Amino acid sequence: MNEQQGFSTAGIPTVFFVLLLGAVGLALEGYGLVHEAPVVVAIGLGIAIHLLAGFMAKGFFQVAPNEGQVLQLFGKYHGTVREEGLRWTNPFCSRRRVSLRVRNFESSKLKVNDSDGNPIEIAAVVVWEVIDTAEAVFCVDDYENFVTIQSESALRQMAQNYPYDAHDDGKPSLRSHGEVINNHLRDEIQARLEKAGVHVIEARISHLAYAQEIAQAMLQRQQANAIVAARERIVEGAVGMVAMALDKLKVQGVVELDEERKAAMVSNLLVVLCGDRSTQPVVNAGTLYGG
């Protein structure tokens, strides 16, 4: 079922028409009271016109900006009115208001397992709007509740496809590849809400953390990984500095070192550059080779 334009006319001209009918009814009733002969006919006709005017008045309704009124005639879908302002339609039609404004909600914090089997807590913010009022009203029972449940289901499914932390540089993870994850989540939710006439504008992770029972252990692992990565960078830089120092000494001819002394110098420089604590200098007052 797709949305169709419902029948309606401008409300202001119809108001004047209904008022005119009411005036005609009053005039006929007054005429019937003044003239004795056609009194029954005139009064009856006036009452009938009054009833018609009152019945037509039931067809007036208002449409606010970014709003649609879904019309049903004897249970059958009769179209949707999106024109703003005062409108008039068949008085037999029932009407249901559907907001077309952009809405958002934040899911509850879900506890799921990532692709590595680690329990995590995750939540998301979903921005959505109704684009097909007929599908939203007639294809699902409660489209707002449908959006909430299906979004959380899609979030749970998406979280199970990625690890919390990236083990390989090329593989996306929940923590490091935000744009990829958000796009996947949006597409996953959109696929589930297509039948409800809902368009998902944006979906973003709003909360991401390890579950409480493993949070401390995972924090220690992250700290260990950070220390190892920092050590690798320090060693890489220290080796480059030692090589540069040996090259400078050789090119400038400051001192000639044999292989044993070069090894000792490399060892001392690496200790100085890679140590956790500041080193204490030792002054050699003898010859180059001790003495």
pLDDT number for residue 291: 47
Distances (CA, A) of 138 to 96, 103, 163, 199: 11, 20, 39, 16
CATH label of the domain that carries residue 192: 3.30.479.30
Tell me if 3 is assigned to some domain. no
Q: Which of 60, 76, 98 is the last residue of a domain?
A: 98
Q: Which of 98, 126, 148 is the last residue of a domain?
A: 98
Q: Are residues 112 and 207 in the same domain?
A: yes
Q: Are residues 107 and 208 in the same domain?
A: yes
Tell me if 181 is assigned to some domain. yes
Residues recorded for the chain: 291
Tell me if 285 is assigned to some domain. no
Tell me if 129 is assigned to some domain. yes
104 near 97, Cβ under 8 Å? no
Farthest-apart Cα atoms in the chain, separation: 148
Please identify which residue in the block is written with the tokens 């289901």: 153
Q: Are residues 119 and 163 in the same domain?
A: yes
Q: Are residues 112 and 65 in the same domain?
A: no
Q: Are residues 145 and 219 in the same domain?
A: no
Choose among 205, 103, 105, 115: nearest CA to 155. Answer: 205
Tell me if 193 is assigned to some domain. yes
Q: Are residues 26 and 61 in the same domain?
A: yes
Q: Are residues 108 and 203 in the same domain?
A: yes
Tell me if 220 is assigned to some domain. yes
Phi/psi of residue 142, each to 5°? -140, 100
Type of residue numbered 81: V
Q: Are residues 174 and 84 in the same domain?
A: no
Q: Are residues 183 and 220 in the same domain?
A: no
Q: Are residues 70 and 134 in the same domain?
A: no
Tell me if 205 is assigned to some domain. yes
pTM of the predicted structure, to 2 decimals: 0.68
291 residues of the chain, pLDDT tens digit each: 788 999 989 988 888 888 887 777 666 666 555 555 455 666 667 677 778 888 888 999 999 999 999 999 998 999 999 999 999 999 999 999 999 999 999 999 999 988 888 888 999 999 999 999 999 999 999 999 999 999 999 999 999 999 888 766 668 888 888 899 999 999 999 999 999 999 999 999 999 888 877 556 666 666 666 666 666 777 777 677 777 777 776 676 666 666 666 677 667 666 666 666 565 555 454 555 554
Residue 19 tokens, joined: 């008022």
- By residue range, what is the domain housing residue 145? 103-212
Considering its fold, how many domains does the chain have in total?
A: 3
Q: Which of 98, 128, 161 is the last residue of a domain?
A: 98
Tell me if 279 is assigned to some domain. no
Q: Are residues 266 and 193 in the same domain?
A: no
Q: Are residues 183 and 259 in the same domain?
A: no
Determine which helix (DSSP H) or strand (DSSP E) holds 215, and give its type and residue range: helix 212-252
